[in-house]
């Protein structure tokens, strides 16, 4: 990280106090920030997405690391995924049925980009980078951090480090069951209009994984804290209520500029009239006006 407030670090650490199977540590990479200045950003992505390229250099005491995006819900024991044998592989990840659908016509320019720019030998072996088991030992043997960052800065990649990792790890990826990274049905079109275009084996694997997800990934610019009616949003709210950040999530949702009456949708779903939460939210909102 580069800007997690000290008070929020303490709040997070307190969640695990008294538990002996967790250790929470923070690594501030501001010292390395200069190395990321030439890297491209677009859309809803932030500079933090590039930080994982530093892992082989920063985490020298570790042979492998399970990387998890921040916009997901873990619904199973990730130790089972961590124990995957990735000897002689650079990483383990899940097939990306969404990208396969984009490639097969939903996004007109995707095929040309993947064939001519990424040059992925088998475009259907493109992986989704929100959940990755990295073989750091193998990465250190194959690429230096400077080599990866130089390649990363050589083009304005559409999906940033996900594209970079797909190119660098090509032919050295171990694919695991898609239930370990189930992308939610973004705007209710990801399944019906995008993944429906993917090859049948990828479509079927996705449908099976979506019915029994181990990890749910809210991939895309719209998140369940912005739209409480989104696919699997109920799980996000179920777990957010158990955290010390729940009120902050609601506060931020009201502060965000509404899209198509989004604020009212959120209020109706999670702040029913007459509840204590509703009264508390009204007090907060009145102070903001």
- State how far the Cα of 4 lies from the Cα of 13, in Å rounded to an integer: 13
pLDDT at 286: 39
- State how far the Cα of 90 lies from the Cα of 133, in Å rounded to an integer: 9
Q: CA-CA-CA-CA torsion for 212, 74, 178, 140, nearest 10 degrees?
A: -160
* Coil, strand or helix at 108: coil
Q: What contacts 30, CB < 8 A, 6 or more positions away?
A: 2
Mean pLDDT for back-to-back runs of 10 residues, the chain (289 residues): 92 88 88 80 77 92 96 96 98 98 96 96 96 98 94 90 95 98 96 98 98 96 90 95 91 67 57 66 46
Q: Name the DSSP class of 20.
A: S
- Helix or strand run (H / E) with residue 151: helix 145-152
- State how far the Cα of 189 lies from the Cα of 33, in Å rounded to an integer: 37
Q: HSE (CB half, 13 Å, CA atoms) of 43?
A: 12
Which tokens belong to 84? 């995957």
Beta strands in 48-188 (DSSP E): 64-68, 72-74, 91-95, 127-135, 173-175, 182-183
The neighbour count for residue 207, using CB atoms within 10 Å, is: 14
Q: What contacts 284, CB < 8 A, 6 or more positions away?
A: 247, 250, 251, 254
Q: If you count DSSP H runs as helices and E runs as strands, how many of each does the chain have, helices first?
A: 13, 7
* Coil, strand or helix at 66: strand
Name residue, tokens 């007109």: 108
Cβ(152)–Cβ(39) below 8 Å:
yes
Task: Label residues 230-265 b or e (16+ Cβ within 10 Å = b).
Answer: bbbbebbbeebeeeeeeeebbbebbeeeeeeebbeb
pLDDT at 22: 85
Which tokens belong to 17? 């106090």
Which tokens belong to 141? 């043997």
* Coil, strand or helix at 67: strand
pTM: 0.85
Cβ(156)–Cβ(205) below 8 Å:
no
């Amino acid at each position: 990280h580069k800007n997690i407030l000290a008070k929020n670090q303490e709040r997070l650490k307190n969640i695990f106090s008294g538990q002996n199977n967790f250790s929470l540590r923070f690594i501030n990479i501001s010292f390395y920030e200069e190395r990321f200045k030439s890297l491209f950003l677009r859309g809803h992505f932030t500079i933090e997405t590039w930080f994982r390229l530093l892992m082989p250099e920063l985490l020298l005491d570790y042979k492998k690391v399970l990387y998890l995006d921040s916009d997901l819900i873990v619904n199973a024991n990730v130790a089972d995924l961590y124990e995957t044998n990735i000897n002689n592989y650079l990483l383990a990840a899940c097939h990306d049925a969404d990208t396969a659908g984009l490639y097969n016509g939903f996004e007109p320019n995707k095929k040309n980009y993947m064939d001519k720019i990424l040059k992925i030998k088998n475009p259907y072996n493109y992986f989704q980078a929100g959940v990755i088991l990295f073989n750091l030992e193998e990465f250190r043997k194959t690429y230096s951090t400077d080599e990866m960052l130089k390649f990363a800065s050589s083009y304005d990649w559409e999906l940033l480090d996900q594209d970079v990792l797909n190119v660098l790890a090509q032919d050295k990826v171990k694919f695991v069951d898609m239930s370990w990274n189930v992308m939610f049905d973004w705007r209710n079109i990801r399944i019906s209009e995008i993944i429906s275009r993917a090859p049948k084996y990828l479509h079927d694997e996705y449908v099976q994984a979506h019915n029994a997800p181990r990890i749910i990934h809210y991939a895309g610019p719209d998140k369940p804290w912005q739209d409480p009616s989104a696919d699997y949003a109920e799980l996000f709210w179920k777990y957010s209520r158990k955290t010390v950040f729940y009120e902050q999530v609601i506060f931020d949702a009201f502060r965000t500029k509404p899209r198509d009456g989004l604020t009212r949708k959120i209020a109706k779903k999670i702040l029913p009239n007459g509840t204590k939460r509703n009264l508390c939210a009204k007090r907060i909102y009145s102070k903001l006006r």
